[in-house]
Amino acid sequence: MNFEGQVAISTGAASGMGLLFAENFAALGGNVVMCDINEEVLLEKIAEINARKGGKAVAAVCDVRDYTQVCAARDKAVAEFGRIDVMANFAGGTAVRMCRVDKSAYPEFPDVPIEVYDWGIDVNLKGPFYFAHAVLSQMREQKSGLILNIGSITGAEGDGYGMDYPTSKAGLMYGLTKSIAQFGSKYGIRCVCVSPGPVLTRAAMANMKTPLGRAAEPQEIIDLCLFIASEKGQFINGENIMIDGGRNAMRRKI
């Protein structure tokens, strides 16, 4: 794969799969605008990427919940590189975990402060929606582009406690991805959602069962993302692709 001359924006890019995507994209010759709220770590990771051979990485400190900051990240990509070829929405997480909710104090869904779920929906759904709205004007002008959403097996399974996460991910997997594809196709713009099952970005993910008997390595998810973005993946559009070791095919037990 070769992404020379291409430009990607990656969110959640100071860590996890957002970082791994940026590292891979740059290693394959592409330029990348890395967005994250954690400026110190972000700048450290960008320095590491720029010390290697490949494309250039630049920082855009950005809270994906703030549309003004989202637009500033888009504008930085265009000012720096002149175009946006891939918008990769990696920022996200389950609010009850990210906000460190004490389940003994808030044992069930109605007990959790609504502000926690607001955070989850804002980051996991509104953030990708904001970035899509912001970058599509540039992609429409250049008549090309890919918006890459990141869903989750949880969007198909649900979660009776961390409800913000499956609600948001299902919105990405189906509503937003299909809608962007419907709008964008006439301008040469694609939208695809990649929905992982358990991924070893956290050790606890190894406890989620799959028919293959393991969780995914993060690189396996990124390899699929890169394929979709590459010349080999250009006919994939408007689709949610599960990469879950067969978890979605498992028999449900009630």
Q: What is the residue-level pLDDT of the chain in tens, covering all 254 positions?
A: 899 999 999 999 999 999 999 999 999 999 999 999 999 999 999 999 999 999 999 999 999 999 999 999 999 999 999 999 999 999 999 999 999 999 999 999 999 999 999 999 999 999 999 999 999 999 999 999 999 999 999 999 999 999 999 999 999 999 999 999 999 999 999 999 999 999 998 888 888 899 999 999 999 999 999 999 999 999 999 999 999 999 999 987 76
How confident is the model at residue 251, as a pLDDT? 83
- Catalytic residue, from 106, 117, 165, 187: name it: 165
The encoded tokens of residue 223 equal: 């390899």
pTM: predicted TM-score of the whole model, two decimal places: 0.95
**Bridge-partner residues for 241, per DSSP?**
194
pLDDT of residue 205: 85
Rounded-to-integer distance, Cα 73 and Cα 217, Å: 29
Nearest to 174 by CA among 196, 149, 205: 149
CA distance 63 to 203: 26
Distance CA 6, CA 94 (A): 31
The question of whether 165 is a catalytic residue gets the answer: yes
DSSP-assigned letter for residue 226: H
| Cβ-proximal residues to 69 (8 Å cutoff; 6+ apart), any chain | 61, 62, 63
- The span from the CA of 148 to the CA of 128, in Å, is 9
